[in-house]
Amino acid sequence: MNEIARPQMNRAGRTAVGLLAFLGIGALAGGVALISKPDGSVMQFDQAILAGSPFKDFFFPGLILGGLFGAGSFLVAALGLRGVRLAPFLAFAIGCGLMIWIVVELAIIKELSVLHPLYFCIGLGIAAAAVSWGWPTFTGWRARRG
């Protein structure tokens, strides 16, 4: 039986991994800042912007930001560099998750920062690159099931 293709470090792979690393740096820093001072003071956030959300302070949003989008992005980038077949699919999930995170955040806080469209575009870039990067692996899996 044919071997299923491993994701190659082509342009799409390098783009996805680079954007994941960039996201990881920002998200980990933001997550640590929010966890260390859940009142939002480190990032000069007013807790009033959380009204209407399920959170009383920034601790759990910080955990999600630092854990999923920070550490998770670094993990997926490392898996991609190792050629793990699942990496492009996890990258796609992180990219889509980031776009959803931004939209939900905007719906809750109702304030727009320059970082919102920037990180939405980073999520879109990760997801788009991941599709191209993972396509050979996806078609290999489909052919094998076929």
Tens-place pLDDT, residues 13-65: 999 999 999 999 999 999 999 999 999 999 999 888 888 888 999 999 999 99
Q: Is the pLDDT of residue 71 over 80?
A: yes
Of the candidate ranges 45-54, 68-77, 92-101, the one whose mean pLDDT is the lowest: 45-54
Alpha-carbon span 80 to 89, nearest angstrom: 10
- Look at 80 and 111; give whichever has higher pLDDT: 80
DSSP code string of 54-75: S-SSSHHHHHHIIIIIIIHHHH
Which pTM does this prediction carry? 0.91
CA neighbor of 77 nearest in space, from 141, 32, 39, 126: 126
Q: What percent of the chain has pLDDT over 70?
A: 98
Residue 124 scores a pLDDT above 60: yes
Does residue 141 register a pLDDT over 50? yes
CA 10 to each of CA 6, 17, 47, 74, 133: distance values in angstroms, whole numbers, following the listed order: 12, 11, 43, 19, 7
Q: What share of residues in the chain are helix, strand, coil (percent, to 5)?
A: 75, 0, 25
* Spatial distance between the Cα atoms of 52 and 95, rounded to a whole number of angstroms: 25
pLDDT of amino acid 2: 60
Per-chain mean pLDDT for the chain:
93
CA nearest to 126, candidates 18, 41, 27: 18
Helix 115-145, helix 87-109: angle, nearest 10: 150
Please name the residues in contact with 5: beta carbons below 8 A apart, sequence gap of 6 or more.
136, 137, 140
